[in-house]
Amino acid sequence: MLDWEELIRECTNCIRCDLGKTRTNIVIGRGNIHAPMMLIGEGPGEQEDKEGLPFVGPAGKLLDLLLNAMMIKEKYYYICNIVKCRPPGNRIPTDEEAAQCIPFLRNQVALIRPKIIVCLGSTAVKYVVDRNARITQIRGQWIDKKGYWIMPTFHPAALLRDDSKKVLMWKDFKKVKEKLDEIVANGECV
């Protein structure tokens, strides 16, 4: 396992898949590296690629609004993606690209050791929960896997396209907030 310094260096120099050839900036993650919760999305978009930070575009702003409304402070989460370089045209990463990049994500999870993992959208669900899982069937239900509480929910970009998903995602995050409050109250995080 790499430490943070080594991980950042490896990611910054990475060209394991073709996404490394077209990125402007690598997007590793943001937030507290000692947080009790990780949020995992799909991959960087245009704004994220420009800034080198995840979830800073329109979908990220919507997610920030949701987290603020839930009073989930940034010190309680770390946010990143399945792939660390922008897929051209914001397409879904291929299995090969995800396979090349996921060891970095596993390393991040091992360093952070979160209690909760929120999968934002079907790509995160596919690679974190189960390749055959359907977001529409499993969202909003806790999955206890390998010592992590996993909550599958929508990607905030889906809410930009379909307003009706907002209520459902709000309900999912209420469950996340309740679980997070329990963990903080039990002193299970720093």
Which residues contact ligand SF4 (rule: CB under 6 A)?
Answer: 11, 14-17, 19-20, 26, 83-85, 97, 100-101
User: By beta-carbon distance, which residue lies closest to ligand SF4?
Assistant: 20
Contact residues for 97 (Cβ-Cβ < 8 A; gap 6+): 17, 18, 19, 83, 87
In the complex with ligand SF4, the residue whose CB is nearer, 11 or 135, is 11
In the complex with ligand SF4, the residue whose CB is nearer, 47 or 168, is 47
Q: Name the residue among 84, 140, 109 with its Cα closest to residue 33.
A: 109
CB of 6 to ligand SF4, least distance (A): 14
Cα 154–Cα 159–Cα 164 angle in degrees, nearest 5: 100
CB of 1 to ligand SF4, least distance (A): 17
In the complex with ligand SF4, the residue whose CB is nearer, 97 or 172, is 97
CB of 53 to ligand SF4, least distance (A): 15
| 130: phi then psi, degrees, rounded to nearest 5 | -165, 135
CB of 46 to ligand SF4, least distance (A): 16
> What residues are paired with 152 via a beta bridge?
119
| 131: phi then psi, degrees, rounded to nearest 5 | -60, -30
User: What's the Rg (C-alpha) of the chain?
Assistant: 15
Helices (H), the chain: 4-12, 19-22, 46-51, 58-69, 95-112, 122-128, 135-138, 156-161, 165-185
CB of 130 to ligand SF4, least distance (A): 22
**Residue that has been written with the tokens 């809410």 in this structure:** 159
In the complex with ligand SF4, the residue whose CB is nearer, 42 or 97, is 97
In the complex with ligand SF4, the residue whose CB is nearer, 85 or 116, is 85
